[in-house]
Amino acid sequence: MTADQRGALRVALFGLPGAGKSTSAGLLREVLAGMGRDVAVVKTAAPLYDVQAAFYERVGTALAPGQQDGALLNFLGSHFRQAAPGFLLTDFARRWGNAVLGGADTVLCDDARPVDLPGLAGQGFRVVRIVAPDALRRERKSGRGDRIAGRDDHPTEAGGEQVVADFEVDNAGTLDELRERIVTLARELVAGPASPAGPVPLVGSAAPVGPVPLAGSAAPADLAALVDLARATISARYAENRHQIGAVIVAGDGRVFTGVHLEAMVGRASICAEAVALGRACAAGATDLRIALAVRHPKPSEARRDIKLVPPCGLCRELLLDYGPDIRVVVDAGAGPELVALAGLLPHKYVGTKWAALGGATADRR
């Protein structure tokens, strides 16, 4: 039985700040990719990071790459869980489901917190504890250069010692020693029992999320959710002769970006909805693009009032393949939405020399 048939492997790493979750996750992703796995790193705290980025953009003091405001994230973590119980886990499930829909056969969560571990286990994640001596951990934490350090005793970090993990990795030694342990972990994860592929109950959710789509396949219901999002996007913004097309782009980590068509008085100045969604994805730093789709809103004069799937135009096919060489698009197959390789809709794509210095038009976009 292949990994596709068993369902996506799901792994969640947790540990106190400075234990080495991010480093371990980076090594694990590298090792699993070397074993032929398509790995998506999906973060439970992505909404918190979004708010953090918006805050520092607003005050005009950008965080350096990898830098965090631990105190702000502590506050946001508590407030999200108080104001909208269950949201973080539900949002996380939606994103990693999108990542699998986009082709990933392995989902790696590198920022799990003890408070969320029961919910992650309920979603079929195998839990890995990363540990290091307190003195070494604090030294590493202080060396990260965070704007403001988070608290080790914050409620979101509490209770980790009571968690029964599936695996434990000791990060007390050198990077090479950690790599050896991660290689062993990867082999055990791949050889071990598969993550469940059935419905996944969520803490704080009234209904299960599932069934989880298998890598390389997509149930019509899974694609329908993306189509519905595109429909809702254009329904909210439709204006005759201005905004008629709504688009959705899904990144490899499950993030979703929307866009609307911009009609111009001079026709050739118009901008397709897919291009707007692509711009939003690029602005957010998403380079691994997996799925795109567009829908068309009817004009008031048209008798049919349904918002229908439409394939990308020729220009959008060229543009999307420049930035997502493996991207697939959702088309109407008659019986429902279906994923097809965009490259198959543009068999003789234009290849120029504009990006030759970067190794080709698409070589360095992933």
Q: Is residue 212 part of a domain?
A: no
Q: Which of residues 171, 191, 211 is at a domain's end?
A: 191
Inside any domain, residue 145? yes
Q: Is 351's pLDDT higher than 50?
A: yes
Give the pLDDT of residue 308: 94
DSSP structure string for 237-296: H-BTTTB-EEEEEEETTS-EEEEE-B--SSGGG-B-HHHHHHHHHHHTT---EEEEEEEE
Interior angle at CA 144, CA 137 and CA 93, nearest 5: 85
What pLDDT band is residue 66 in, cutting at 50, 70 and 90?
confident
| Whether the Cβ atoms of residue 75 and residue 124 lie closer than 8 Å to each other | no
Residue 361 has pLDDT above 80, yes or no: no
Residues 62 and 187 occupy one common structural domain: yes
- Sorted by sequence, the CB contacts under 8 Å of residue 107 that are 6+ apart come out as 8, 9, 10, 11, 39, 40, 42, 96, 99, 100, 125
For residues 228 and 177, membership in a common domain is answered with no
Indicate whether 194 pLDDT > 90: no
Core vs surface per residue 53-92: b (16+ CB within 10 A) or e: eeebeeeeeebeeeebbbebbbebbeebbeeeeeebbbbb
Residue 25, pLDDT above cutoff 60:
yes
CB atoms within 10 A of CB 165: 19
| DSSP helix/strand/coil, 108 | strand
Closest to 323 measured CA to CA, from 270, 218, 251: 251
Give the residue, 224 or 257, on which the prediction is more confident. Answer: 257
Name the strand (E) or helix (H) holding 14. Answer: strand 9-14
Domain membership of residue 28 as a residue range = 3-191
Integer CA distances (angstroms), 331 to 66, 212, 290, in order: 38, 21, 14
CA angle 146, 150, 155 (to 5 degrees): 160
Tell me whether residue 200 is in a domain.
no
pLDDT at position 220 is 53
* Average pLDDT estimate for 286-293: 95
Q: What's residue 65's pLDDT?
A: 84
* Judgement on whether residues 144 and 287 belong to the same structural domain of the protein: no
- Is the pLDDT confidence value at 213 over 50? no
Q: Are residues 176 and 235 in the same domain?
A: no
Residues 101 and 186 in one domain: yes
Measured N-to-C along each axis, helices 175-191 and 21-34 cross at an angle, to the nearest 10 degrees, of 60
Express each pLDDT in 172-188 by its tens digit.
999 999 999 999 999 99
Minimum mean pLDDT range among 36-40, 306-310, 350-354: 350-354
Residues 173 and 306 in one domain: no
Res 214: pLDDT: 35
| Counted domains in the chain | 2
> Catalytic site residues?
274
Q: Please tell me whether residues 10 and 142 are part of one structural domain.
A: yes
| Mean per-residue pLDDT of the chain | 86
Residue 170 predicted with pLDDT over 90: yes
d(CA 203, CA 122): 8
Does 66 share its domain with 162?
yes
Read off the pLDDT of residues 220-254 as tens digits, 9 standing for 90 and up: 567 889 999 999 999 999 999 899 999 999 999 99
Q: Does residue 366 form part of some domain?
A: no
Residue 196 lies in a domain: no
Q: Quote the pLDDT of residue 196.
A: 53
118 within domain boundaries: yes
Residues 154 and 231 in one domain: no
- Of 172, 191, 210, which marks where a domain is finished? 191
The fraction of the chain above a pLDDT of 70, given in percent, is 87
Task: For residue 80, give the CATH number of its domain.
Answer: 3.40.50.300
Class of residue 1 by CB neighbours under 10 A (exposed 0-12, middle 13-18, buried 19+): exposed
- What pLDDT digit, counting tens, does each position of 32-51 carry? 999 999 999 999 999 999 99
Residue-wise pLDDT tens digits, 72-121: 999 999 999 999 999 999 999 999 999 999 999 999 999 999 889 999 99
- Examine residue 206 and state whether it is found in any structural domain, yes or no: no
- Please work out, in degrees rounded to the nearest 5, the angle formed at the alpha carbon of residue 340 by the alpha carbons of 337 and 342: 125
In a domain, 147, yes or no: yes
pLDDT of residue 149: 84
Residue 125 has pLDDT above 50, yes or no: yes
User: Which residue, 175, 191, 207, sits at the end of a domain?
Assistant: 191
CATH number at residue 290: 3.40.140.10
> Do 171 and 244 belong to one domain?
no
Indicate if 164 and 269 belong to the same structural domain. Answer: no
Residues 11 and 108 in one domain: yes
